[in-house]
């Protein structure tokens, strides 16, 4: 059997990890690698601050070092904690869902917008867009005011705010929208129908990229 692909939830919300498992289930192939979804139990329930990202990055890197049996690793947090360091600790692909989600969005449209959990995350995300070289194709990013990763996919009130944020991005010219947290996953299909543009679940994008790289 092929070595597993590890999908790592850098926050401690097991409920969010269960949502990630549901996403991963759609990508399991009879002859493909097993997809294993793990939680960083010692992390906060939502990765919100720069300190959270730094702490989660250390934990993600440690987990990757402890699991050299994997064929690829997916970091399922939109801030891609630990991505830079983890890539130096393994020869296997390490995929951050922010990068994967943005690249998938640009495969679907000429430009993209992003819905973040909080406005405070936007400067951190912008640095990543500059690193990838896609800042010129960003129509905008909108934060929801600091909701939790779990509420992003479970709360009807948060969904109403998410839809409003998506409409603001479409009004700004976004031709595709990236969900800026793994927790949004249960709402992707509904949001895409309501907005009328492609809506990208970055966890799906990350797993798909991992499968492709392992196949190559």
pLDDT, tens digit (0-9, with 9 covering 90-100), for 118-129:
999 999 999 999
pTM to 2 decimal places? 0.94
Residue 1 has pLDDT above 70, yes or no: no
CA 11/CA 78 separation, integer angstroms: 11
CA 92/CA 89 separation, integer angstroms: 9
Residue 186 has pLDDT above 90, yes or no: yes
Band of pLDDT at residue 216, cut at 50, 70 and 90: confident
Task: List helix spans (H) across the chain.
Answer: 14-25, 50-66, 83-86, 97-108, 122-132, 149-154, 156-171, 188-195, 202-215
**Percent of the chain scored above 90 by pLDDT?**
89
The two three-digit tokens of residue 4, written as one number: 């597993």
Smallest Cα–Cα separation from 116: which of 168, 73, 74, 42? 168
Band of pLDDT at residue 185, cut at 50, 70 and 90: very high
């Amino acid at each position: 059997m092929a070595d597993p692909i590890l999908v790592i939830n850098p926050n401690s919300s097991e409920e969010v990890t269960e949502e990630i498992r549901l996403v991963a289930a759609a990508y399991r192939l009879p002859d493909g690698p097993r997809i294993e979804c793990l939680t960083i139990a010692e992390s906060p329930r939502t990765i919100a601050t720069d300190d959270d990202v730094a702490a989660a990055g250390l934990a993600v890197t440690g987990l990757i070092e402890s699991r050299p049996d994997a064929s690829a690793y997916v970091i399922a947090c939109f801030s891609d904690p630990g991505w830079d360091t983890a890539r130096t600790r393994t020869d296997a692909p390490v995929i951050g869902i922010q990068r994967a989600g943005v690249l998938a969005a640009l495969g679907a449209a000429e430009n993209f917008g992003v819905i973040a959990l909080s406005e405070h995350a936007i400067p951190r995300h912008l640095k990543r867009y500059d690193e990838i070289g896609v800042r010129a194709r960003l129509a905008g990013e909108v934060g929801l005011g600091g909701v939790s990763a779990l509420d992003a996919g479970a709360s009807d009130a948060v969904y109403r705010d998410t839809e409003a944020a998506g409409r603001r991005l479409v009004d700004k010219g976004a031709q595709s929208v990236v969900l800026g947290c793994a927790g949004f996953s249960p709402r992707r299909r509904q949001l895409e129908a309501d907005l009328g543009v492609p809506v990208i679940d970055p966890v799906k994008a990350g797993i798909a990229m991992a499968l492709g790289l392992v196949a190559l």
